[in-house]
């Protein structure tokens, strides 16, 4: 813990838990491994804990920060880097496509405010063609759901919708003491790398979303019950799926087959 507690008063409504553990900051920077030829986007730079390591690589760096009070400090610290640009706005309305217009894919990094993490990830999953990869610090439980395997309680909508587009790696866990103020939950760092060539080229995402939402609507119920109206027992059986099984036992490939079988 080498960084002193920050002077800015952390705001709960912006999910401000600032990283203060230099070893954790280095570990994230190593995992990202930014290069001068790349274009990085940092979400919620806060007081710049990660920003310094990213900017020092010489990469093109756009940062998006909602809290206006943090803007002067960020500009003072990082305007010296000619390829640094700050966007003082809400990332949930940010136009990633406009940023990637030059044809270069983006690398997205962020120690995310926990309240926006899931909607933001779903939003970015709509733009995977623009993205080289994403590194996020999240609540550990969310990382466990993103990287889950079939058969357990963590396997569900978030993991399936992420894993059909991206390779997901749970990199390492981070304890509450690494932050100021310490959050109530444990955190973890995850890497999402969109597939350039999809393992499932024939999958309609809207249908997959419908099937997954229905299949997990009531986790304790059988697929037969949850998928009533979308697909019948005979069709399930023809896909090799036991209608009496629960959604959490089905692997991703089976959800894709299901999505390809239902009507629009």
CA distance 189 to 110: 10
Answer yes or no whether residue 96 interacts with ligand SAM by CB under 6 A: no
Strands (DSSP E) found in the chain: 18-19, 39-43, 60-64, 84-87, 106-111, 131-139, 166-174, 179-180, 187-194
> How big is the chain by its Cα radius of gyration, in Å?
20
Of 40, 86, 108, 116, the one binding ligand SAM (CB under 6 A) is 116
Report the residue from 15, 156, 159, 194 that binds ligand SAM according to the rule CB under 6 A: 15
Question: Encoding tokens for residue 197?
Answer: 């060539």
Report 178-207 residues binding ligand SAM (CB under 6 A). none
Residue 19 interacts with ligand SAM (CB under 6 A): yes or no: yes
Residues 6+ apart with CB under 8 A from 97: 127, 130
Q: Which residues on neighbouring strands pair with residue 137, listed in sequence order?
A: 111, 189
99 scored as a contact of ligand SAM (CB under 6 A):
no
Distance, in Å, from the CA atom of 183 to the CA atom of 139, rounded to the nearest integer, reads: 9
Distance separating alpha carbons of residues 131 and 100, to the nearest angstrom: 8
CB-wise, 111 or 128, nearer to ligand SAM?
A: 111
Residue 121 in contact with ligand SAM, rule: CB under 6 A: no
Asked whether 63 and 41 are in contact (CB, 8 A), the reply is yes
The minimum distance between CB 227 and ligand SAM, in angstroms, equals 35
- Is residue 156 a contact point for ligand SAM (CB under 6 A)? no
Residue choice 64, 148, 160, 230 for contact with ligand SAM (CB under 6 A): 64
Binding part of the chain for ligand SAM, among 77-85, 90-98, 165-173, 246-254 by CB under 6 A, reads 90-98
Near ligand SAM by CB under 6 A: residue from 24, 34, 49, 106: 49
CA distances from 3 to 20, 25, 188, 253 (A): 5, 11, 20, 46
| Contact between 62 and ligand SAM per CB under 6 A | no
Instruction: Decide whether 19 or 250 has the Cβ nearer to ligand SAM.
Output: 19
Q: Which residues bind ligand SAM (CB under 6 A)?
A: 14-19, 43-47, 49-50, 64-67, 70, 90-92, 111, 113, 116
């Amino acid at each position: 813990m080498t960084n002193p507690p920050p002077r800015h008063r952390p705001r709960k409504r912006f999910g401000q838990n600032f990283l203060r553990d230099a070893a954790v900051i280095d570990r994230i920077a190593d995992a990202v491994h930014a290069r001068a030829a790349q274009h990085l986007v940092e979400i919620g730079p806060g007081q710049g804990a990660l920003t310094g390591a990213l900017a020092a690589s010489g990469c093109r760096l756009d940062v998006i920060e909602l809290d206006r009070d943090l803007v002067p400090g960020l500009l003072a610290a990082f305007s010296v880097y000619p390829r640094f640009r700050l966007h003082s706005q809400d990332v949930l309305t940010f136009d990633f496509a406009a940023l990637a217009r030059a044809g270069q894919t983006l690398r997205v990094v962020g120690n995310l405010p926990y309240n926006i993490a899931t909607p933001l990830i779903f939003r970015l999953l709509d733009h995977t063609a623009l993205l080289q990869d994403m590194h996020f610090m999240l609540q550990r439980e969310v990382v466990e759901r993103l990287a889950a395997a079939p058969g357990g309680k963590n396997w569900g909508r978030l993991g399936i919708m992420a894993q059909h587009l991206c390779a997901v790696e749970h990199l390492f866990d981070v304890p509450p003491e690494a932050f100021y103020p310490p959050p109530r939950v444990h955190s973890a760092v995850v890497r999402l790398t969109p597939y350039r060539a999809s393992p499932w080229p024939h999958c309609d995402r809207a249908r997959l979303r419908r099937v997954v939402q229905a299949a997990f609507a009531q986790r304790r119920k059988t697929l037969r019950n949850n998928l009533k109206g979308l697909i019948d027992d005979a069709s399930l059986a023809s896909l090799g799926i036991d209608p009496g099984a629960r959604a959490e036992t089905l692997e991703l490939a089976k959800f894709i087959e299901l999505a390809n079988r239902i009507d629009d």
